[in-house]
Amino acid sequence: MRRMRKDVRGQMEVIGLVVIVILIALGMLFMATFALKSEPQKKIFTRKGLAYSTMSAMMKTTISEEAACYSLSQGAPKIGGDIIEDCAKYKDVDISIYQCIGPTSGKTLHSCDFLHEMIAYSLQNTLGSWNKNYEFHSQLITFKGEEAVDIIEPIVSGGCPKWKERDSSGLFPINTEAGLVENSLYLCD
């Protein structure tokens, strides 16, 4: 009789343990579902697309007549062509061929200073106004194969370090007489 009672009690305890294990397992499952939730697709799509479209649009943009760019060539200079090339060629010289009035300072500037001001202005009016963090780099790789050097100071707003969830526009290479200029934009939230 006593043995039977003990057996029944043991079975009850096992059932209790099983119930607790099931409850804990369910809780863990829910927690895992929450933890492993991937980043929303829209966020990734927007960040990637936005980085590329911003870079692509910026490289195509032509300088307005208001900037009164002094140059020997005719027509409006393009950021992703004439201005970057001029800056790469004359970055170590005080005078550049293209000298334009900066959109924020209102002063006539060297092509590198103008490039910096123009890109910072454009990015601030778009990505900056949407509270996005970004980093813009423009680096020259000379034909001698030396290490890449920045032709303008990197434009940083909030910053996008490597450990942060970030997307790049990809490299926008421009072939110039001074070497290859690689432009890239990093975007993060």
Partner 1 sequence: MVKMKNRMTRRMARKGQLQMTETIAILFIFFILLLFGVIFYFRYQKIAFQEKQEELLAARAMESTLKTLFMPELICSRGEAEPEDNCFDVLKLNATKKTMQQHLDEYYFEIFSYATIEVQETYPENKIWLLYDKPKPEFTRKEPTFFVVTLRDELAGINQPKYGFGYVSVTVYS
Give the binding site for partner 1 (CB under 8 A): 16, 19, 23, 26, 30, 40-42, 45-46, 49-50, 52-54, 56-58, 60-62, 64, 66, 74-76, 78, 103, 121-122, 125-127, 130
What is the C-alpha separation between 122 and 60, in angstroms, rounded?
13
C-alpha gyration radius of the chain: 29
Which one, 84 or 127, has the nearer CB to partner 1?
A: 127
- Nearest-approach distance from CB 171 to partner 1, in angstroms: 16
Which one, 42 or 144, has the nearer CB to partner 1?
A: 42
Cβ-proximal residues to 87 (8 Å cutoff; 6+ apart), any chain: 96, 110, 111, 112, 115, 151, 152
Please tell me what DSSP assigns to residue 76.
P
- Nearest-approach distance from CB 179 to partner 1, in angstroms: 25
3-state secondary structure of 78: strand
**Placement of tokens 């005078």 in the chain:** 95
Comparing C-alpha atoms, which of 92, 89, 91, 116 is closest to residue 102?
Answer: 116
Which one, 11 or 64, has the nearer CB to partner 1?
A: 64
- Nearest-approach distance from CB 61 to partner 1, in angstroms: 5
- Nearest-approach distance from CB 95 to partner 1, in angstroms: 25
Which one, 76 or 171, has the nearer CB to partner 1?
A: 76
